[in-house]
Chains A and B, each alone.
Chain A
């Protein structure tokens, strides 16, 4: 394997240290200090793996990633991310980075990432070999078709021969010489439909039929006085070409192609008819074989667990396999991009277009939307299909669903991220605990009760954070089944309010509860929903505490029935959020709170509500506050209301 690697980072120190580690593992390392330089090196060296920092001047890592993936999707890019840019790192996965490693770079983790990149390159090679096999099959099929064309050509040659014979008929002596050597059954018939001459092969296989009726050797309809080839030729005056079955002297039957040619006298009357028959058993056998190959090909086409389509230069679908038809609304002749991606125009980076252009295999990864509406990640390969003149007339496109691989990869990446984020969190918590203990101890020694209290408060805060972190980790680690039980919503709401009220009041913030009366019962896992709501309430509290611009704050917690659902609403007038924060709020490990947040809370809250078939809606503006609406379907409403 090509062991070249391109390392891009704006910090010289990192470049130096990493170059050493990478050379030790056996790489030939090229370095660049920004995306632009990196691209230049990429063009000349074409390394299979690129390791790049995200935040750099001139051209940043994400931009570089996109350019590289655009130019050569086979290149695997590993991102180096700082602790501050986790969301960028996650974003880079969407742009098809294979993995990312966080600073400071641990050599083992880097090796795992490199291993993963190599594995993907290897996997892609294997799949490409597979595609090439398919192509070979297509070529084989084309060869078979050529064979058939050759058969037709033979037929034409026989026709040519007939006309030659017609010319030779005038000179019967010379004609007969050729006559006996022909590899076909040749016979000459007179207007009375009697055989007047046959060649050697005819005699051997069919018997010496001179003097017999013209139709005798034929089976079926052709074997009648009015329909036999000679009769038709005498009647129409034109040469015939027809298929028939003949009976050999031994009794067995065989299919033949019969050519006839009229031989005219000087008055232009048809005097004789030459009949030439060729045994087409061989042709038939070949046709049968071709048919079988076609069927096998069709079967393969239909059964492979991929989407396969044949497209022309306008990206119209000319043929699609069964899997494709099952998962997409396929209309032959429709454009690939309409069916696959519901787009109005061809996709940028279309591999089919590239294959038409350069005749080579191309591949890319795309997200497509089947009938089910669920998006799928697919790996797409394209291969050219050429006509006899070597021109590319069609492109075959094959896509493999790699959604599960992607999901697994994302999961693994976020797991790695989680471990690094948690280990950092725990170190900070330990330092905080030390701080609390130090304050208590030194306060006791100095008999400074104010300091003791301060220290004890710190200890309590840290213990609280530890509890939250541990609970969140436990929750995240376990995919738990919901224990749904009928729950009285009003009691539940009071219970949630009671468990957070003192904490809110301690910060001098008002908690206003507004619960409707007829809430009835809802079937839900009260324990986890309670955790989710408290999580959101705590976020509201944090947002108020952080907002020092306003003098007083209020959190409103309301519960109302709405059609077939129960709506919990938590409104605060704290700091609010900008758009970016809003959009990444429910993603794993997103935290706007630095050391104070684990980035797990709202991710879990969202998961819990979704598990209940509900939804969290969010409305927020910077400095104006935030409004969370949590809907939970009231699935046992009929029994309880009215």
Chain B
């Protein structure tokens, strides 16, 4: 069974892009357009990795991260931050911080290193 990646980004173009990149490399994907929706999808889909944007309307990525880490069932899912902001103190134990615009091959490299 392919590993599953959850993409959380409010920009549908970015979601489409990441979905195409991941599925072209043999991963299954699911997505959410906000952090609230993201929390629901995490519980339902149990992804192996989360790709998170840290600036979104209504709620901040970091807050999603805090809520996620409080939930025992899903707290160990690795996170890659993909964002236009170059901040790294917000999500402490992220696997990697990828700045937009990003090189898809490098991203895939990080994903492979993390979940195989």
Known: A17-B89, A438-B20, A458-B13. A84 touches B59 (CB 8 A): yes
Question: Are A432 and B13 neighbours in the complex by a CB distance under 8 Å?
Answer: yes
Between-chain CB contacts (< 8 Å), 21 pairs: A82-B62, A83-B55, A83-B85, A103-B87, A104-B88, A424-B84, A427-B99, A428-B100, A431-B84, A431-B100, A432-B11, A435-B14, A438-B20, A438-B21, A438-B104, A442-B20, A454-B16, A458-B13, A592-B57, A595-B11, A595-B56
Interface of B is mostly: loop
Inter-chain CA distance A431–B84, complex, in Å, is 9
Chain A residues near B56 (CB-CB < 8 A)? 594-595
Known: A431-B14, A432-B14, A462-B13. A14 touches B57 (CB 8 A): no
Known: A427-B100, A430-B100, A595-B11. A435 touches B85 (CB 8 A): no
Which of A14, A103, A435 meets B17, CB within 8 Å? Answer: A435
Chain B residues near A438 (CB-CB < 8 A)? 17, 20-21, 104
User: Which residues 14-37 in B have Cβ within 8 Å of A in the complex?
Assistant: 14, 16-18, 20-21, 24
Chain A residue with Cβ nearest B56: A594
Chain B residues near A594 (CB-CB < 8 A)? 10-11, 55-57
Question: Are B87 and A104 neighbours in the complex by a CB distance under 8 Å?
Answer: yes
Question: Are A427 and B84 neighbours in the complex by a CB distance under 8 Å?
Answer: yes
Chain B residue with Cβ nearest A591: B57
Report the interface size for chain A: residues with CB under 8 A from the other chain.
35
Question: Are A439 and B85 neighbours in the complex by a CB distance under 8 Å?
Answer: no
Question: Are A461 and B24 neighbours in the complex by a CB distance under 8 Å?
Answer: no
The size bracket of the interface on B is 20 to 34
The 10 A-B residue pairs with the shortest CB-CB distance in the complex, in nearest-first order: A435-B17, A427-B84, A431-B100, A594-B57, A430-B101, A104-B87, A431-B101, A432-B13, A13-B89, A594-B10
Chain A residues near B89 (CB-CB < 8 A)? 11, 13-14, 17, 103-104
Chain A residues near B92 (CB-CB < 8 A)? 13
Chain B residues near A43 (CB-CB < 8 A)? none
Which of B10, B20, B60, B85 meets A424, CB within 8 Å? Answer: B85
Chain B residues near A591 (CB-CB < 8 A)? 57
Interface residue B86 (Cβ < 8 Å from any Cβ of A): yes
Chain A residues near B21 (CB-CB < 8 A)? 438
Interface residue A434 (Cβ < 8 Å from any Cβ of B): yes
Known: A442-B24, A451-B20. A434 touches B101 (CB 8 A): yes
Chain B residue with Cβ nearest A425: B84
Chain A residue with Cβ nearest B20: A439
Question: Are B17 and A432 neighbours in the complex by a CB distance under 8 Å?
Answer: yes
Known: A427-B99, A438-B21, A592-B57. A104 touches B86 (CB 8 A): yes
User: Which residues 1-40 in A have Cβ within 8 Å of B in the complex?
Assistant: 11, 13-14, 17
Chain B residues near A439 (CB-CB < 8 A)? 16-17, 20
Distance from A420 Cβ to chain B, minimum over Cβ atoms (Å)? 9
Inter-chain CA distance A103–B90, complex, in Å, is 9
Inter-chain CA distance A282–B10, complex, in Å, is 88
Question: Are B85 and A431 neighbours in the complex by a CB distance under 8 Å?
Answer: no
